[in-house]
Amino acid sequence: MPEQSTESRRDELLRIAAGLFAEKGFKNTTVRDIADAAGILSGSLYHHFDSKESMVDEILVSFQTELFGKYDEILASDLDARSKIERAVRLSFETIDARGPEVAIFQNDADHLGKFERFSYLAERNNQSREVWMTLLREGLAAGVLRQDLDLQLVYRFIRDTVWVAVRWYRPGGDLSHDDVADQYLHILLEGITVGNSS
What residues line the site for DNA (CB under 7 A)? 9, 29-32, 35, 40-44, 46-48, 50-53
**Torsion angle (degrees, nearest 10) of CA 171, 175, 180, 185:** -60
Query: To 10 degrees, what angle do helices 121-142 and 152-165 make?
Result: 120
- Contact partner at residue 43 from a copy of itself, DNA, none, CB < 5 to 8 Å by partner kind: DNA
Query: Which one among 7, 9, 12, 28 touches a copy of itself, defined by CB under 8 A?
Result: 28
Partner interacting with residue 46 (select from DNA, a copy of itself, none; CB below 5-8 Å by kind): DNA
User: Residues 105, 111, 115, 119: is their CA dihedral positive or negative?
Assistant: positive
CB of 63 to a copy of itself, least distance (A): 20
Cα 45 from Cα 52, distance rounded (Å) = 9
Task: Pick between residue 127 and residue 194 the one whose CB is nearest to a copy of itself.
Answer: 194
Q: Which does 155 bind (CB under 5 to 8 A by kind): DNA, a copy of itself, none?
A: a copy of itself
> Are the beta carbons of 20 and 35 closer than 8 angstroms?
no
- Out of 41, 79, 98, 165, the residue judged to bind a copy of itself by CB under 8 A: 165
Residue selected from 39, 69, 78, 147 as contacting a copy of itself according to rule CB under 8 A: 147
| 94, 33 Cβ separation under 8 angstroms | no
Contact 56, 26 (CB under 8 A): yes
Structural Rg of the chain based on CA atoms:
19
Interaction between residue 192 and a copy of itself (CB under 8 A): yes
Nearest to 85 by CA among 135, 130, 127: 135
Q: Would you tell me which residues interact with a copy of itself (CB under 8 A)?
A: 24-25, 27-28, 82, 108, 111-112, 144-148, 150-151, 154-155, 157-158, 161-162, 165-166, 168-169, 176, 181, 184-185, 188-199
